[in-house]
Structure 1
């Protein structure tokens, strides 16, 4: 085994760090407090070509793999941008993966170059308030409507937790085209569309939430939105299968973001522990402070190794469910422990916004919930790796 980092990967890290240096912790603290999207950051990342890094070169992207995309998102999060920065570009980097794999050539030519350049903002609409993680129970319907100039569908329904819906032009939208009761399998009868979010038939409302407030999470109501056949991704009824193609890659990217948050938390906590003097000596001299930080570093290193194996397997098109889910679980857990240790290191100041670790803590907590909670990861490992009976 060769653990030396590839020269190209070092170059990616250095270049992304150079961009992120322009946007310090105070920038992210301000935008989080104001609930303002980080447009300046987004445009700089687009200018550098980082948003299109995982889109094929034929469509204006960088043609790189999940490993390279994961390095970008890790460095963004580690800069102190955390989830506000990573979420601003995450969906554009990889949200269109089902379109890359299954979209028509016309759809790919029309959509992907604009996504890669950063010109076209995209969101991801899957979760519904009554279905939650039971995606097969979604009720958003796409019904045939050939009354317009071109054949298409009318969409009615409601989605929640659609990140970037306020800023986005398009959404990769999962619908039911055949009622679940009429399908041989519950995973059948669902269809993906690249739908318009700026249509008058679409109503977007931000959801007040604990953190990552520079990037809104939204409830989106579709009230008769018309979508043409040319905006359908692949075949009707196979949308769920298309989504599954990208799940392992998404786990890797989210794990990398968690790793970045943990790195940021440890870095700030170590700096504070060196300079904060109590009882005549730096608090970092006390094992009650140093041990949690050392343990956090060790946990993050272990998570990093799991991420690297998982991303390698995804890029090699090898089975990667166990590795990707394990990486997500370990990284989310390590990031939360690191952020908690950072708050504890700062004592009462850890609760103060000006020291930033309270923001890291809030955003690290999200990693244990999204896009899949830790319990569902353990369900996967228990059933598909250990061979235990299905629990749900």
Structure 2
């Protein structure tokens, strides 16, 4: 894949910014308040061809890379629509294992529908009893003639209220302490509601995009719905997890920049004791610090995206991007809240929504603590503490 030049990236940035900002801050506040899925927004990006940004042209997509997708999702979140970015990025990272390891028949059948926005998928990995230790999932797939029967439970599954397909991780072999990540298999199958009970979780933030518990009872899956090889599913999963961390970082950076811009504008206009509050270093310095942190986080995220597009290892960079983007994005939203003072709690200013959405992404899709665990052991070579 060729490296995009600056002019191409700027065109993508400008085009997607204009499209995203047709849906204003009031649109997102209303969706958050009502808990309504942003279908109009998703359709607009589907009509523009952007849902298939990373899907090869032969399957109906644009055939671009994660770098271009990251730039697009930065602009979506910067429009004030962190929920919209979440909805759109489910067309970016969950299909990764299918795209890289699925059968040709699987790709030709599903990817064009995804690129056109005609199909929505869910990503079924997290479990209530396993938390961040994916090796301890208990959802199991038992082999039968010509297929598998799956039983188990998943939690915090996005899109399950509307998704028709699910990329589902299940144990197909017992856990081996010597190689705990082996023995799990990815299945790409229908989200069969006769066998999967979907229960929505009421939550603090990002209410426009649903999160759910899944209860799986004797779900029958065919052999041709296995992604890649049996027992190697976690390895394939990394083709979705690293892009997820990179695009989430860019989304947090975009949201943080919008909060920062709003805070700077307010700090210039708000007069207290006969002077704009931005004249006080107690206001100005935290905002300046946030600007620098957001810039630095973007540099790491774009480096990680470039490595992924070049098919080079990017685990340290992807995790670092998520960590720095999460910290910088939340800090910018928190400092915007401080700048607005009491008015930050008024929903008309949107700052409280930014704060709630940015706080969520310090926990998900991977906690900051687990990123530090990864860096300390995989990069620095320190012994595991867990």
Which TM class, normalised by the smaller chain length? over 0.9
Corresponding residue for residue 24 of structure 1: 24
Contact 2:337 2:351 in 1 (8 A): yes
- Residue segments in structure 1 that go unaligned for 5+ positions in a row: none
- How far apart are 1:184 and its partner, in Å? 6.3
Q: TM-score, normalised by structure 2?
A: 0.96
Instruction: Tell me how far apart the structure 2 counterparts of residues 25 and 276 of structure 1 sit (CA, whole Å).
Output: 21
Give CA deviations for 1:182-206 in whole Å, capped at 9, x if unaligned: x862222211111222431111111
- How far apart are 1:5 and its partner, in Å? 6.4
Corresponding residue for residue 206 of structure 1: 200
1:215 aligns with 2:214: no
Contact 2:196 2:219 in 1 (8 A): yes
Does the C-alpha gap of structure 1 residues 173 and 278 become closer, same or farther in structure 2, counting only changes over 3 Å? same
Instruction: Tell me how far apart the structure 2 counterparts of residues 222 and 125 of structure 1 sit (CA, whole Å).
Output: 11
Choose from 279, 282, 303 the match for 1:285: 279
More displaced 10-residue stretch of structure 1: 193-202 or 324-333? 193-202
Instruction: Tell me how far apart the structure 2 counterparts of residues 251 and 46 of structure 1 sit (CA, whole Å).
Output: 23
Corresponding residue for residue 85 of structure 1: 84
1:109 aligns with 2:104: no
Contact 1:202 1:220 in 2 (8 A): yes
Instruction: Tell me how far apart the structure 2 counterparts of residues 325 and 186 of structure 1 sit (CA, whole Å).
Output: 21
Instruction: Tell me how far apart the structure 1 counterparts of residues 300 and 50 of structure 2 sit (CA, whole Å).
Output: 24
Contact 2:77 2:251 in 1 (8 A): yes
Give CA deviations for 1:68-125 in whole Å, capped at 9, x if unaligned: 110111110011002x111111111221100011101111111111111111001100
Contact 2:93 2:241 in 1 (8 A): no
The number of residues matched between the two structures is: 383
Corresponding residue for residue 37 of structure 2: 37
Instruction: Tell me how far apart the structure 2 counterparts of residues 247 and 200 of structure 1 sit (CA, whole Å).
Output: 29
Corresponding residue for residue 118 of structure 1: 117
Contact 1:180 1:186 in 2 (8 A): yes
Instruction: Tell me how far apart the structure 1 counterparts of residues 81 and 239 of structure 2 sit (CA, whole Å).
Output: 28
Contact 1:177 1:191 in 2 (8 A): yes
- Residue segments in structure 2 that go unaligned for 5+ positions in a row: none
Q: TM-score, normalised by structure 1?
A: 0.95
Instruction: Tell me how far apart the structure 2 counterparts of residues 239 and 323 of structure 1 sit (CA, whole Å).
Output: 22
Contact 1:174 1:239 in 2 (8 A): yes
What's the C-alpha RMSD, in Å, of the aligned pairs?
1.5
Corresponding residue for residue 180 of structure 2: 186
- How far apart are 1:43 and its partner, in Å? 0.3
Corresponding residue for residue 251 of structure 1: 245
Contact 2:316 2:375 in 1 (8 A): yes
- How far apart are 1:358 and its partner, in Å? 0.6
Contact 2:95 2:240 in 1 (8 A): no
Secondary structure of 1:51's counterpart equals helix
Corresponding residue for residue 62 of structure 2: 62
Corresponding residue for residue 72 of structure 2: 72
Corresponding residue for residue 307 of structure 1: 301
